[in-house]
């Protein structure tokens, strides 16, 4: 059984769309995305430097565009049973499941990036990855400093978020702490001001019943109602991401293989550590398409579709 997974912010790299856009049809689609949202994702994905694409308002649309373009290049969506995305990757997943159109996905992520950047500018805050250590010890240390476990990624990785001074004091026994180059404390109450504008936009977006199970970052549940999928995506902006529970759901649902769409690499690494019995494939560029289709042939049977 096969799932498609979509990465979140931080996975972007300079020039990451260049190889994909050598295909004329994909370049046309990328230009349609750019025109629809008033942001040149073609330029951002080809010639923009690392600092420009690190900006939250640019990074989020670029990541969703990359995921959609690579998934369209791959095709084979009739063989997918589940989709899941990490943070902003949930928007990619919703589009791949047919919940929202690709243009609506790009419109939503454009506003998400802008509003989260605005929210981050209100109060200085940040995020840090805590690697290793005992899970309960790490969570207790985060809570004791008034921080939030904003991303519970499984595989011995928890991302803490909140006040910068508190983050500087975070040092759980047996764990390593690495500051993340992000603009604010995503998936915490620091992002609350971004929620209402996104909810207003979401109310204008038509949703469909997903054609496959959509695994939610909120609790790892499989969501089969399109409106619920979209509302969860909006609420998630100011609430923790439970990717650990998403991975457990993939396992419990009998998924045997996952393909991470572009910009791929981060999520397959987490799955390899946390649920190694699930085989992984990172779709990093057009050169991977043929191998990805062979992977699909191995894992695409016994689909559970709505």
Instruction: Note the pLDDT tens digit of each residue in 133-174.
Output: 999 999 999 999 999 999 999 989 999 999 999 999 999 999
Say if residue 237 is in the same domain as residue 281.
yes
pLDDT single digits (tens) 110-131: 999 999 999 999 999 999 999 9
d(CA 80, CA 71): 11
Q: Decide if 54 is inside a domain.
A: yes
d(CA 281, CA 257): 8
Q: How many domains does the chain have?
A: 2
Q: Decide if 225 is inside a domain.
A: yes
Q: Decide if 306 is inside a domain.
A: no
Banded model confidence at residue 195, pLDDT cuts 50, 70, 90? very high
CATH number, domain containing residue 84: 3.40.366.10
Banded model confidence at residue 10, pLDDT cuts 50, 70, 90? confident
Query: Which residue range is the domain that position 148 belongs to?
Result: 126-179
Say if residue 146 is in the same domain as residue 200.
no
Say if residue 33 is in the same domain as residue 110.
yes
pLDDT single digits (tens) 264-298: 999 999 999 999 999 999 999 999 999 999 999 99
Task: Provide the pLDDT for residue 301.
Answer: 63
Query: What are the DSSP calls for 245-271, one per residue?
Result: HHHHHHHHTT--EEEEPSS-SHHHHHH
Banded model confidence at residue 76, pLDDT cuts 50, 70, 90? confident
CATH number, domain containing residue 156: 3.30.70.250
Task: Provide the pLDDT for residue 303.
Answer: 53
Alpha-carbon dihedral sign for residues 145, 146, 148, 149: positive
User: Is the confidence at residue 190, as pLDDT, over 70?
Assistant: yes
Q: Decide if 157 is inside a domain.
A: yes
Among residues 179, 198, 218, which one ends one of the domains?
179
User: Is the confidence at residue 299, as pLDDT, over 80?
Assistant: yes
What stretches of 3-159 show up as alpha helix (H) in DSSP? 24-37, 41-44, 50-54, 56-74, 89-96, 102-122, 135-144
Task: Provide the pLDDT for residue 302.
Answer: 55
Say if residue 289 is in the same domain as residue 140.
no
Let me know: does 14 contact 271? Beta carbons within 8 Å.
no
Say if residue 219 is in the same domain as residue 161.
no
Alpha-carbon dihedral sign for residues 245, 251, 254, 260: positive
- The torsion angle over the Cα atoms of residues 256, 261, 265 and 269, rounded to 10 degrees, is -20
Among residues 179, 206, 224, which one ends one of the domains?
179
Is 227 designated active site? Answer: no
Q: Decide if 304 is inside a domain.
A: no
Say if residue 277 is in the same domain as residue 175.
no
**High-pLDDT (> 70) share of the chain, %:** 98
Say if residue 288 is in the same domain as residue 216.
yes
Q: Decide if 305 is inside a domain.
A: no
Say if residue 106 is in the same domain as residue 46.
yes
Among residues 144, 162, 179, which one ends one of the domains?
179
Let me know: does 153 contact 243? Beta carbons within 8 Å.
yes
Say if residue 42 is in the same domain as residue 158.
no
Task: Provide the pLDDT for residue 201.
Answer: 98
Q: Decide if 78 is inside a domain.
A: yes
User: Is the confidence at residue 182, as pLDDT, over 90?
Assistant: no
Say if residue 16 is in the same domain as residue 117.
yes
Alpha-carbon dihedral sign for residues 79, 83, 89, 91: positive
Say if residue 108 is in the same domain as residue 249.
yes
Query: What's the mean pLDDT in 9-31?
Result: 96
**Catalytic residue (choose from 34, 81, 87, 216):** 87
Is 187 designated active site? Answer: yes
Banded model confidence at residue 77, pLDDT cuts 50, 70, 90? confident
**Catalytic residue (choose from 102, 187, 216, 299):** 187
**High-pLDDT (> 90) share of the chain, %:** 94
Say if residue 117 is in the same domain as residue 227.
yes
Query: What's the mean pLDDT in 180-201?
Result: 95
């Amino acid at each position: 059984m096969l799932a498609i997974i979509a990465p979140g912010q931080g996975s972007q790299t300079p020039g990451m769309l260049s190889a994909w856009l050598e295909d004329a049809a994909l370049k046309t689609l990328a230009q349609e995305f750019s025109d629809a949202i008033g942001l040149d994702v073609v330029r951002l994905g080809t010639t923009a430097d690392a600092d420009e694409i690190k900006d939250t308002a640019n990074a989020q649309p670029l990541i969703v565009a990359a995921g959609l373009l690579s998934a369209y290049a791959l095709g084979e969506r009739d063989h997918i049973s589940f989709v899941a995305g990490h943070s902003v990757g949930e928007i990619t997943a919703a589009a791949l499941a047919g919940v929202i159109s690709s243009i609506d996905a790009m419109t939503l992520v454009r506003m998400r990036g802008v509003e989260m950047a605005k929210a981050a500018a209100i109060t200085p805050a940040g995020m840090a990855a805590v690697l290793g250590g005992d899970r309960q010890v790490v969570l207790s240390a985060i809570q004791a400093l008034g921080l939030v476990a904003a991303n519970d990624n499984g595989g011995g990785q928890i991302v803490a978020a909140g006040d910068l001074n508190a983050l500087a004091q975070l040092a759980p026994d047996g764990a390593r702490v690495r500051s993340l180059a992000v603009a604010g404390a995503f998936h915490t109450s620091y992002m609350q001001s971004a929620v209402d504008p996104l909810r207003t936009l979401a109310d204008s977006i038509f949703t469909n019943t997903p054609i496959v199970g959509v695994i939610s970052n909120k609790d790892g549940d499989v969501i089969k109602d399109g409106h619920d999928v979209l509302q969860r995506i909006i609420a998630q902006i100011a609430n923790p991401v439970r990717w650990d529970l998403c991975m457990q759901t993939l396992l419990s649902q009998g998924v045997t293989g996952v393909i991470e769409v572009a910009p791929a690499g981060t999520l397959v690494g987490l799955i390899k550590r946390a649920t190694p019995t699930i085989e992984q494939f990172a779709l990093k560029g057009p050169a991977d398409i043929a191998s990805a289709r062979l992977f699909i042939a191995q894992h695409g049977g016994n689909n559970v579709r709505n």
